[in-house]
């Protein structure tokens, strides 16, 4: 498809305004549900949820601007990283099950963001970043996406069905959530030109239906007109050196996603990346992970969805995306926006998010079979997913006797992906298998 506006096209004022607003409409629904689901799952108060959502919007805009002009400099926006949501949930659920205060759990996550950011900067400076990212072949990335989907889906399904009073599944919510989930799922595949707006339609239609059905709501929160983000709004980092291996693992996932998304965006935009684009993007990514801790937000990654949305809209002009990013920052500092997002019924946000995650699961399964559907591929995928998912279902605290290794051994995503890497590169290496 030929783009209406290429990356370097100088759009006029009205075009910039119009398409900048369009980018906000496309970016927000695809990125705001996951932080809301995370906040709900970990038991954030309404005020904490509103602030978390607002800081996420500000960070999305700020991160996109940094990458657009200082990082890769390609018209690819930043997105909330699904793998970070999964890891946040793993650490959060294990911590809550062990009776740890929420402030300590959040502090450990801030520390993990900082560790990851430092590792990205060091590996980029030493030139090792590109070599490590090669570990994540399509098969390994497929296993990663499948395990992330399994990890997150448990919390999402529970949130879809659970009553606000906390006394088990609500029959009305079960019926509503399933109907909304399958409705949004159908629209995401069969919606034609409406597909890029599926998140927005799911939010608006789902919330309206929820209200008309008279399903239970919770008290809202009122915020001032203008809100400025405070550094470490959810608490200071809490040092936990047992997270070092997990940080190293996340770095490789991040770098692999980053490279794939930037290259895909450049292909759609029909621009050639300059030799230092990925290196600049990695430096920017490391800084953004440090800022994620400072802003008490969630870490970002260049959006894999960006190339698809550019193709669908025909708009790849850099300045329109930059204006959209500025709008995100302004909206994130507007109090009523936070109040609005915090008031979204959990059943709506969980149902829409789960439908989005079906795409991630589908991408994972597709990646697992890129090299062919043979016994080797199926064995590596099956063993890795079974082991990783099995650990996810173990009770929290199972590995407390292992000291600092408990954070690693109790992380099903880490163990599953590590298993896939070892099987593919050692036990079932392709040359030896043939």
* Helices (H), ranges, 98-170: 102-126, 129-133, 138-161
**pLDDT score recorded for residue 382:** 93
Residue 78 DSSP one-character state: E
Nearest 5°: phi and psi at 300? -115, 170
What confidence tens digit (pLDDT) does each residue in 87-109 have?
998 899 888 888 899 999 999 99
Pairing of strands 300-302, 78-80: antiparallel
Angstrom distance (rounded) from CA 103 to CA 407: 18
Residues contacting residue 216 through CB under 8 Å, at least 6 positions apart: 163, 164, 165, 170
- pLDDT value of position 158: 85
**Predicted pLDDT of residue 62:** 96
Structure tokens at 88: 């946040």
Cβ-in-10-Å burial (0-12, 13-18, 19+) of 222 comes to: exposed
pLDDT grade for 374, boundaries at 50, 70 and 90: confident
The pLDDT value given to residue 369: 86
Token pair in block for residue 70: 């200082």
* CB atoms closer than 10 angstroms to residue 57: 27
Q: Within a 13 Å sphere around the CA of 216, how many CA atoms are in the beta-carbon half? A: 15
Give pLDDT tens digits for 112-169.
Answer: 999 999 999 999 999 887 777 777 788 888 898 899 888 888 888 888 887 766 667 7
Q: Bridge partners of 55? A: none
CA nearest to 395, candidates 106, 143, 42, 96: 96
CA distance 43 to 32: 17
pLDDT digit string (tens) for 308-358? 778 777 888 899 999 999 999 999 999 898 888 888 888 898 888 888 778
Residue 227 C-beta-side C-alpha neighbours within 13 Å: 26
Residue burial 400-414, b: 16+ Cβ < 10 Å; e: rest: eeeeeebbbebbbbb
How much is the average pLDDT of 358-368?
85
Residue 55: per-residue pLDDT: 95
Lookup result for tokens 């894999």 = 304
Task: Tell me what the mean pLDDT of segment 219-225 comes to.
Answer: 78
Residue 349 has which token pair?
Answer: 């946000």
pTM score = 0.87
Q: Please name which of 90, 33, 43 lies closest in space to residue 355, comparing C-alpha atoms.
A: 33
pLDDT over 90 for what percent of the chain?
37
Residue 355 is predicted with a pLDDT of: 81
**Closest to 172 measured CA to CA, from 137, 129, 214:** 214
């Amino acid at each position: 498809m030929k783009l209406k506006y290429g990356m370097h096209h100088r759009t006029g004022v009205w075009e910039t305004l119009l398409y900048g607003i369009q980018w906000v409409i496309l970016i927000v629904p695809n990125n705001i549900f996951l932080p809301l689901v995370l906040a709900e799952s970990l038991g954030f108060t309404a005020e904490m949820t509103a602030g978390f959502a607002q800081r996420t919007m500000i960070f999305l805009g700020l991160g996109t601007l940094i990458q657009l002009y200082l990082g890769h400099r390609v018209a690819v926006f930043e997105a909330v990283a699904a793998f970070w949501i999964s890891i946040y949930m793993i650490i959060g659920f294990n911590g809550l099950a062990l009776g740890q205060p929420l402030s300590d759990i959040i502090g450990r996550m801030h520390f993990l963001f900082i560790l990851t950011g430092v590792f990205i900067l060091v590996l980029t400076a030493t030139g090792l970043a590109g070599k490590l990212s090669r570990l994540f072949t399509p098969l390994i990335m497929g296993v990663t996406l499948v395990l992330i989907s399994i990890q997150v889906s448990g919390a999402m399904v529970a949130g879809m069905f659970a009553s606000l009073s906390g006394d088990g599944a609500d029959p009305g919510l079960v019926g509503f959530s399933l109907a909304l989930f399958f409705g949004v799922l159908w629209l995401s595949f069969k919606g034609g030109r409406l597909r890029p707006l599926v998140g927005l339609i799911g939010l608006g239609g789902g919330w309206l239906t929820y209200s008309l059905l008279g399903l239970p709501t919770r008290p809202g929160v009122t915020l001032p007109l203008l809100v400025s983000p405070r550094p470490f709004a959810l608490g200071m980092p809490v040092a936990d050196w047992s997270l070092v291996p997990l940080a190293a693992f996340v770095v490789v996932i991040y770098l692999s996603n980053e490279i794939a998304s930037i290259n895909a965006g450049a292909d759609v935009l029909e621009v050639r990346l300059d030799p230092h684009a990925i290196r600049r993007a990695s430096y920017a990514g490391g800084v953004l992970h440090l800022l994620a801790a400072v802003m008490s937000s969630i870490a970002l990654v260049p959006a894999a969805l960006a190339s698809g949305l550019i193709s669908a809209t025909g708009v790849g002009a850099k300045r329109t995306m930059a204006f959209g990013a500025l709008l995100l920052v302004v909206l994130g500092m507007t109090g009523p926006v936070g109040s609005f997002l915090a008031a979204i019924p959990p059943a709506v946000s969980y149902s829409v998010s789960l439908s989005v995650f079906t795409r991630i699961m589908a991408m994972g399964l597709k990646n697992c079979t890129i090299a062919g559907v043979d016994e080797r591929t199926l064995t590596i995928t099956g063993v890795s997913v079974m082991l990783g998912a099995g650990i996810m279902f173990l009770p929290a605290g199972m590995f407390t006797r292992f000291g600092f290794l408990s954070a690693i051994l109790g992380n099903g995503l880490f163990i599953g992906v590590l298993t896939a890497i070892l099987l593919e590169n050692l036990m079932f290496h392709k040359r030896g298998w043939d």
